[in-house]
């Protein structure tokens, strides 16, 4: 939600935007935090190196097109010892000034090319902001340089929220940091892993700001509500998109020739594979765009997709095993999914035999529903559709991807591993659900009739619910 020209419509007595400075030692994840808050990989430059951000950069966050706050990314503090010594000297020299006035004096008198020029940029932004987010890499011990930084920042008399980053698997270090900060009367800390995103952490961040800057309570509440609504919509859109894929593939049918011709059979198999691959690829692209990750991110972040295709093909040998399916069965021993199944035998509860029986005594309603199948049986036509394993893998892999995207901060730089998803489970009554889909080829594409059909609605709700289930 970056707004290029963040001006509120002119209103007398309008509250100025809340200004938040993101500060901290170099390479602690300041730019990363802002990217994650903006849900955009476009902001700033992130690198695992000191001194990546060289200038103060601004981004505005809005709720429903109404700008609410400005975030300021700042260069990392590098030489806190020299800065502290310099400020100390100024304190002795300018005794009657308050600590904040001394910082003001420092920034107005620093010259270009001064060794502390970088630090001055940070302090200048600190003094112009309403609140500071102090980003901490908890993997580091509470070294003297951090103590000095905190001493300097508290002199600005601005409220400070320490934000713990790199918290994954660092509980002990986190506890130590908490203790040290309590010594500075800083208790309103926040855990916000910029890489492993949770909406809860984002909400808490705004709530902490709300309590520390009361004057902006109402616009911040508006922002919290807006972001929550947006987040729910985003997750729902993702789950609906995956559901659409499952329906699309499970309802798909290829007419099979009656001749037992090997070439014709393999052509059908190819068409089926082609259809499934394309459908999955389409869904993948849509999911990335729903969560604002682009093709470029796929490449940068090494999501196992190249040129829009999954690196581990859905029909690759061994895929069943990778997804924890049917281990021990012949299929898991290196065989592939994607053997199309004969619909009359495998896909329907109404098997060939009962279909034939139905011809003799079928009423109109049975004929209307199963007419095509019955006619096909008489003519000897059969259909082929994606087999159970294929639909299962599609579901498991997309569920895994959806979960990853929902918890992937926009600062994440590492590979997103979605080629193994054996931790995911199929929804209850999965077999019944896919069998119903197979028997309703007309549901393959969205239509008013389909979307209003209570049986379809039930399946859709079940799939969406299972996809969003965090358990």
Which token pair is 307? 């040129």
465: helix, strand or coil:
helix
Q: Which residue of 118, 194, 384, 392 would you call a contact of ligand GTP, by CB under 6 A?
A: 194
Nearer to Mg ion, 31 or 155 (CB): 31
Residue 122 binds ligand GTP, judged by CB under 6 A: no
CB of 152 to ligand GTP, least distance (A): 16
Rounded CA-CA distance 184/147 in Å is 9
Crossing angle of helices 352-361 and 364-379, in 10° steps, is: 120
Residue 53 binds ligand GTP, judged by CB under 6 A: yes
CB of 216 to Mg ion, least distance (A): 25
**Binding range to ligand GTP, per CB under 6 A, among 193-201, 259-267, 440-448, 458-466:** 193-201
Nearer to ligand GTP, 30 or 216 (CB): 30
Chain residue at closest Cβ approach to Mg ion: 53
Rounded CA-CA distance 76/33 in Å is 13
Q: Residues 177, 158: contact at Cβ < 8 Å?
A: no
Instruction: Report what 166 binds from ligand GTP, Mg ion, none; CB cut-off 5-8 Å by kind.
Output: ligand GTP
Secondary structure of 205-230 in the HEC alphabet? HHHHHHHHCHHHHHHHHHHHHHHHHH
Residue 125 binds ligand GTP, judged by CB under 6 A: no
Residue 52 binds Mg ion, judged by CB under 5 A: yes
Q: Which residue of 36, 41, 53, 156 would you call a contact of Mg ion, by CB under 5 A?
A: 53
Sign of CA dihedral 189, 194, 199, 203: positive
Residue 28 binds Mg ion, judged by CB under 5 A: no
Q: Which residue of 43, 72, 164, 166 would you call a contact of ligand GTP, by CB under 6 A?
A: 166
Rounded CA-CA distance 149/85 in Å is 11
255 to 294: interface string for ligand GTP, x by CB under 6 A = ----------------------------------------
Residue 413 binds Mg ion, judged by CB under 5 A: no
**Binding range to Mg ion, per CB under 5 A, among 52-60, 63-71, 231-239, 360-368:** 52-60
Rounded CA-CA distance 155/282 in Å is 54
Question: What is the enclosing helix (H) or strand (E) of 162?
Answer: strand 160-165
239: helix, strand or coil:
helix
Residue 372: phi and psi, rounded to 5, are -60, -45
Strand partners, 160: 132
Nearer to Mg ion, 52 or 237 (CB): 52
Crossing angle of helices 430-438 and 388-406, in 10° steps, is: 110
Nearer to ligand GTP, 32 or 436 (CB): 32
**Binding range to ligand GTP, per CB under 6 A, among 30-38, 88-96, 226-234, 376-384:** 30-38
CB of 56 to Mg ion, least distance (A): 11
**Binding range to ligand GTP, per CB under 6 A, among 29-37, 224-232, 249-257, 326-334:** 29-37
Q: Which of 149, 132, 154 is nearest to 74 (CA)?
A: 132
Strands 131-137 and 66-73: unpaired
Sheet harboring 131-137: ordered strands across? 57-63, 66-73, 18-24, 131-137, 160-165, 190-191
CB of 50 to Mg ion, least distance (A): 10
Q: Which 408-427 positions form the footprint of ligand GTP (CB under 6 A)? A: 411, 413
**Binding range to Mg ion, per CB under 5 A, among 51-59, 232-240, 284-292, 318-326:** 51-59
**Binding range to ligand GTP, per CB under 6 A, among 12-20, 41-49, 288-296, 449-457:** 41-49
Q: How far is Cα of residue 305 from the mean position of the Cα atoms in its chain?
A: 16
Instruction: Report what 210 binds from ligand GTP, Mg ion, none; CB cut-off 5-8 Å by kind.
Output: none
Q: Which of 116, 142, 163 is nearest to 22 (CA)?
A: 163
Q: Which residue of 31, 36, 156, 165 would you call a contact of Mg ion, by CB under 5 A?
A: 31
**Binding range to ligand GTP, per CB under 6 A, among 49-57, 141-149, 175-183, 299-307:** 49-57
Q: Residues 3, 62: contact at Cβ < 8 Å?
A: yes
Residue 46 binds ligand GTP, judged by CB under 6 A: yes
Residue 248 binds ligand GTP, judged by CB under 6 A: no
Q: Residues 385, 271: contact at Cβ < 8 Å?
A: no
Look up residue 346 and give its DSSP letter. I
Strand partners, 254: 384
Sign of CA dihedral 410, 412, 418, 424: negative
CB of 135 to ligand GTP, least distance (A): 6
**Binding range to ligand GTP, per CB under 6 A, among 94-102, 191-199, 357-365, 397-405:** 191-199
Residue 436 binds Mg ion, judged by CB under 5 A: no
- Residues in contact with ligand GTP by CB under 6 A are 26-32, 46-48, 50-53, 75-76, 165-166, 193-195, 411, 413
- Residues in contact with Mg ion by CB under 5 A are 30-31, 52-53
């Amino acid at each position: 939600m970056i707004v290029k020209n963040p001006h509120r419509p002119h209103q007398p007595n309008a509250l100025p935007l809340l200004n938040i400075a993101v500060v901290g030692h170099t390479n602690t994840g300041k730019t990363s935090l802002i990217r994650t808050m903006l849900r955009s990989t476009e902001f700033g430059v992130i690198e695992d190196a000191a001194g990546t951000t060289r200038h103060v950069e601004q981004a505005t966050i809005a709720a429903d097109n109404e700008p609410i706050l400005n975030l300021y990314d700042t260069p990392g503090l590098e030489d806190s010892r020299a800065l502290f010594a310099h400020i100390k000297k100024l304190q002795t020299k300018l005794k009657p000034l308050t600590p904040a006035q001394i910082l003001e004096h420092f920034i107005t008198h620093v010259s270009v090319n001064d060794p502390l020029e970088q630090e001055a940029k940070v302090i200048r932004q600190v003094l112009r902001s309403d609140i500071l987010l102090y980003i901490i890499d908890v993997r580091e011990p509470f070294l003297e340089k951090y103590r000095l930084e905190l001493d300097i920042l508290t002199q600005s008399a601005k409220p400070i929220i320490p934000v713990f980053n790199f918290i994954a698997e660092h509980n002990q270090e986190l506890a130590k940091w908490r203790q040290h900060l309590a010594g500075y009367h800083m208790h309103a800390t926040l855990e916000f892993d910029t890489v492993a995103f949770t909406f809860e952490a984002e909400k808490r961040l705004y709530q902490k700001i709300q309590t520390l800057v009361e004057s902006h309570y109402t616009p911040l509440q508006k922002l919290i509500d807006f972001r929550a609504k947006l987040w729910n919509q985003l997750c729902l859109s993702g789950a609906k998109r995956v559901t659409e894929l499952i329906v699309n593939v499970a309802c798909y049918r290829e007419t099979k020739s009656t001749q037992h011709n090997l070439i014709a059979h393999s052509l059908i198999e190819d068409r089926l594979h082609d259809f499934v691959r394309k459908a999955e690829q389409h869904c993948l692209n849509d999911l990335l765009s729903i969560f604002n990750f682009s093709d470029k991110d796929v490449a940068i972040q090494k999501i196992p997709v190249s040129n829009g295709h999954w690196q581990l093909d859905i029909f690759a040998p061994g895929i069943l095993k990778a997804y924890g399916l049917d281990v021990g069965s012949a299929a898991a021993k290196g065989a592939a999914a994607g053997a199309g199944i004969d619909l009359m035998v495998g896909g329907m509860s109404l098997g060939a035999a009962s279909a034939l029986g139905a011809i003799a005594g079928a009423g109109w309603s049975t004929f209307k529903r199963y007419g095509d199948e019955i006619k096909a049986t008489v003519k000897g036509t059969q259909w082929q559709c994606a087999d159970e394993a294929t639909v299962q893998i599609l579901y498991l892999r997309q569920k895994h991807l959806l979960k990853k995207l929902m918890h992937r901060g926009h600062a994440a730089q590492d590979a997103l591993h979605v080629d193994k998803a054996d931790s995911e489970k199929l929804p209850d009554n999965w077999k019944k659900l896919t069998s119903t889909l197979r028997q309703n080829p007309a549901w393959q594409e969205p239509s008013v009739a389909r979307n209003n059909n209570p049986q379809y609605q039930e399946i859709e709700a079940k799939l969406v619910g299972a996809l969003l289930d965090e358990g």
